[in-house]
Amino acid sequence: MFIEKIFVLLLRITSYLKPQKGMAIARLFSAFAFLLNTRLRKTTERNLRLCFKGLSQRELNEQVKESLTNSFYLFFEYAYMSNWDHQRLLSLFAQVDGLDLLEGALKKRKGVLLLLPHFGNFEILEVYMASYYSFVALYNPPKVKSLERAVSNMRERHGGFMYPIGSAGLRAIIKELRNGKISVLLPDQVPNVNSGAIQSEFFGNNIRYMSLIHKLLKKTSSEILFASVTRRLDHNSLKYEICFEKPDDLVYSEKESEHIGAVTDAVERIVLRSPMQYQWEYKIFKNRRDFDPYQDT
């Protein structure tokens, strides 16, 4: 309870900072994380080295710092989402591309499975979605259990229904899809060792992706769309660009390899729009069959 109160208070205080000031502080945190050779730096560096093999050491260092800055900035965005009023947050969306795809899919009344990678401020999509649509989403509870209620409140205060990953959440998203509505999943959530997974490749590296999407397609007739939220911050304003897009039709293939290939290809295309806005600090290649790239991190 004490930790939760401190966390909520910190979010409230942070929400008074201008976005540009928040980014400056995030850059400072990034510099310290880099100089202290933290786990965040090591994991980010390892992932970027694996995925962008042509980088020089200087280029790699700069991209690690930029990636960490974007990751630290998410805390400031959480503060804004937790405390700014809905209309103020809604005004941050400067551009929405592919909305016709979402509207067209909903008109079919088969349900829409919206896949949202860990890119940009992916969390803020719920502010936009809850303003116009009914949806449910799955999330991975925070490791610090005392923070779960505060994080859940942030995610649900603008609308929508959030469920922790589990049987109840799975039933909820299937029900929503069968009712012709929207369910949101993070396709690049790393599955646990004993969870269902499909082997694929991500920027030429072996990776385990969840098999849940493939299973949902077998249980429902839903249509798949990808969504992404790109952050645009300059000296004057903070804005977001939303993009809804279709993956390759192979995503509906009964063959797991073809299905997951279409999923990872779509995630790669999103990442390449602004590579340092992807959350590289996660151990996305863990639990591989061949070797552990994070042994020394």
The pLDDT score that the predictor gives to residue 128 is 95
Distances in Å between the alpha carbon of 274 and those of 58, 63, 74, 163, 287? 19, 11, 15, 29, 27
Q: What is the pLDDT along the chain (297 residues), one digit of tens a residue?
A: 777 888 889 999 999 999 999 999 999 999 999 999 999 999 999 999 999 999 999 999 999 999 999 999 999 999 999 999 999 999 999 999 999 999 999 999 999 999 999 999 999 999 999 999 999 998 877 676 666 777 777 777 777 788 888 888 899 999 999 999 999 999 999 888 777 899 999 999 999 999 999 999 999 999 999 999 999 998 889 999 999 999 999 999 999 999 999 999 999 999 999 999 999 999 999 988 777 889 877
Residue 240, CA atoms < 13 Å, CB-side half-sphere:
24
The pLDDT score that the predictor gives to residue 64 is 98
Domain positions in the chain? 2-277
CA separation for the pair 115, 106 (Å, rounded) = 15
The pLDDT score that the predictor gives to residue 151 is 73
Residue 112 pairs with which residues in a beta bridge? 182, 223
The pLDDT score that the predictor gives to residue 233 is 95
The pLDDT score that the predictor gives to residue 144 is 67
With vertex at residue 111, the alpha carbon angle to CA 110 and CA 116, rounded to the nearest 5 degrees, is: 145
Residues whose CB falls within 8 Å of the CB of residue 148, separated by 6 or more in sequence, listed in order: 141, 142
With vertex at residue 207, the alpha carbon angle to CA 225 and CA 274, rounded to the nearest 5 degrees, is: 55
A 10 A CB-CB count for 153 gives: 12
The pLDDT score that the predictor gives to residue 146 is 63
Which H/E stretch holds residue 14? helix 2-14
Q: Which two tokens stand for residue 274?
A: 């602004």
